[in-house]
Copies of this chain bind each other. A is one copy, B any other.
Amino acid sequence: MRARTRQAILDAAITVLGQEPTVSLGAIAAAADVGRTTLHRYFPERSELLRAVNAEVTARLERAVGLARLDEGRGIDALRRLTREYFDLGDVLSLIFNQPHLTAEVGWADPGVCDPRFETMVRRGHEDGTLDPDLPPPWVHNLLWAQLYAAYGYLADSDTSRHTVLGLLVRTVTGAAGVKSARIEE
């Protein structure tokens, strides 16, 4: 019924907008297997659809943060959990990267401010000696998102399994943000 159709539109919008941010409403409707008229009935204006997409993405991100239990264990372990949860977001990653203005307050844009829970996690990692103390929390936030996007693209374009890509991702995020015990001299 209503809720079902609405969700189908939102899912299709997330997928298609992530690939082509300026895609027409007709194309979104087609991707959702729905008539353009129906789409207009649920979201009279494009901006309203975008707001709804924003809300949906925000909710999914929030859920991922909750599942990652950022306040438990060592900083690096929490960061690894968050990496895995974010990686599972799929199409949402592409959307967040291609429409930073759409999901600005929640995503990776505006490095000066990042989620306080994330910041607390990184600072804990600084203190427990598992995260590189020279990297400010917003930088870690940025690098995590960058590598997530790289991993998602790698998954789409190369024929590597999801599991393998996740392994590579966690390994490089750990190397990038983790404390360097014996750094190779410049």
**0/1 interface trace, chain A 8-45, chain B, CB 8 Å (1 if under):** 00000000000001100000000000000000000000
| Range, interface on chain A | 35 or more
**0/1 interface trace, chain A 40-57, chain B, CB 8 Å (1 if under):** 000000000000000000
Q: Is A59 interfacial (CB-CB < 8 Å)?
A: no
Looking at A112, A180, A184, which has the most chain B CB atoms within 10 Å of its CB?
A: A184
Complex: A136 Cα to B171 Cα, angstroms: 12
Q: Is A111 interfacial (CB-CB < 8 Å)?
A: yes
Q: Is A103 interfacial (CB-CB < 8 Å)?
A: no
Number of copies: 2
Known: A172-B135, A180-B175. A154 touches B76 (CB 8 A): no
Check if B176 sits within 8 Å of A184, measured CB to CB: no
Cβ-neighbour of A175 out of B80, B150, B178 (below 8 A) = B178
Q: Which residue of B lies closest to A138 (CB)?
A: B158
Q: Is A70 interfacial (CB-CB < 8 Å)?
A: no
Residue positions of A touching B, CB distance < 8 A: 21-22, 76, 80, 98, 108-112, 130, 132, 134-136, 138-139, 142-143, 145-147, 149-151, 153-154, 157-159, 168, 171-184, 186
